[in-house]
Structure 1
């Protein structure tokens, strides 16, 4: 019996490696806020064991930032005949197949750092909330081209219903 999640015939399209910068900067900003707030609480309350909690939070952020390049490489998508297949995750892998005819919204988002690096995030939603998919870290031109293609495919598949 073959492993169902092993898809050797799929050639995954990857997100831009520049997305690593976006993800790392986001984690660093969040880490500074969390560690700073925890340090302030530990300092003003004067309970010494709170410093261990702050140190543990800092270690979690360091490990998360160290794993970010591998997590970004694990993000991929593939356009197939009837659906778009999306995957992400290292330890907990998620595979989602969204049929073109079920897509209701295809949206592009660009944050400030994304715009600076020429990246965009493509989000498409179906009626079922669990199948909403976000593909981060796409080059802007690729995101716009993919959006237009998905909209066209979704319109043609819904017309056939």
Structure 2
């Protein structure tokens, strides 16, 4: 079953471990704001015991997301073949996206404020069918630029034959 999502004849490239840090920081901000809002809302309306209970639940949610984010980051990998790009990710719900270079319409590189502060970028490939779009988060900006240029050149070269 593992060969279905990670062919053995492929040399996989993992994404940066900093991706987990960025996502955990994002989760900390989200759960922190949720905890403060819930504490104040439930504390003022229903009593501080309920506000404290909400705070504990938010803390448990953050702890659970901490574990899931680490496992998810480790599952992201990509491979460049002669005619296609493979992107694999997921622990429970695994996914392998195979994008033929000739089917790519354009390649995006994006980086939000947290990604930029940690020196990361995301490469996103767009095809005519949204189901075959792929993204690779957690790349070093130099690798993202190299991948963007390489995929664009390969896509343009192989599209000429269509």
- SS of 1:4's equivalent? helix
Deviations along 1:46-80, one digit per CA (max 9) or x if unpaired, are 06657545533431221111232221111000111
TM-score by length of 2: 0.88
Q: Is 1:27 aligned to residue 27 of structure 2?
A: yes
Measured on the aligned residues, the alpha-carbon RMSD in Å equals: 2.1
Q: Pairwise mapping of residues 56-75 of structure 1 onto structure 2 (< 5 A)? A: 56-75=57-76
Q: Flag structure 2 segments of 5+ consecutive residues without an equivalent.
A: none
Q: Could you tell me how far 1:150 is from its partner in structure 2?
A: 0.3
What is the distance in 1 between the residues matched to 2:92 and 2:57?
21
Q: Pairwise mapping of residues 8-157 of structure 1 onto structure 2 (< 5 A)? A: 8-46=8-46, 52=53, 54-157=55-158
8 A Cα contact 2:5 2:94, kept in partner: no
- SS of 1:91's equivalent? coil
What is the distance in 2 between the residues matched to 1:34 and 1:14?
32
Q: Could you tell me how far 1:37 is from its partner in structure 2?
A: 1.8
What is the distance in 2 between the residues matched to 1:87 and 1:2?
11
What is the distance in 1 between the residues matched to 2:3 and 2:143?
31
8 A Cα contact 2:126 2:133, kept in partner: yes
Number of paired residues?
161
Compared with structure 1, are the counterparts of its residues 98 and 25 closer, same or farther at alpha carbon in structure 2 (3 Å cutoff)? same
Which is further off, 70-79 or 140-149? Answer: 70-79
Deviations along 1:78-127, one digit per CA (max 9) or x if unpaired, are 11122111011111111111111111120111222222222111111111
